[in-house]
A = this chain, B = another copy of it.
């Protein structure tokens, strides 16, 4: 048995979590929200809504439109998005380590296979 977790930033509801983070990471790597969405099996309109909602709640832009290029322009992440992503990466890493340590204190070592399971 082991411990699972999810963390997110909130302010009267979720503001930023793994979904928007993964989309921004995809845009950073592909320079395209279309491609970032497709990689996650998500429609472009849903991806756009997720980013747009996060921008509204955060109060700053996460994506900037770029001009030119073969497909007539794509997207890139803003410096503010980059900084937010960096903070979230540190948060995730430190929280993951802390949770694992605290879990071991109360439940003993994590195991991949875990205890015997029931019959069905």
Q: What residues of chain A have their CB less than 8 Å away from a CB belonging to chain B?
A: 1-12, 14-15, 55-59, 87, 90-91, 94-95, 98-99, 102-103, 105-107, 113-120
Q: Is A119 touching B56 in the complex (CB atoms < 8 A)?
A: yes
For the complex formed by this chain, how many copies does it contain in all? 2
Residue of B nearest to A16 (CB): B1
Kindly state the separation between the CA atoms of A118 and B60 in the bound complex, as whole angstroms: 8
Q: How far is the CA of A4 from the CA of B91 in the complex (A)?
A: 12
Interchain CB contact under 8 A, A95 and B87: no
CA distance A79 to B34 in the complex (A): 53
**Contact at B7–A2, with CB atoms within 8 Å?**
no
Interface-centre pick from A12, A55, A87, A99 (highest chain B CB count, 10 A): A99
Q: Which residue of B lies closest to A4 (CB)?
A: B10
Inter-chain contact A99/B7, CB cutoff 8 Å: yes
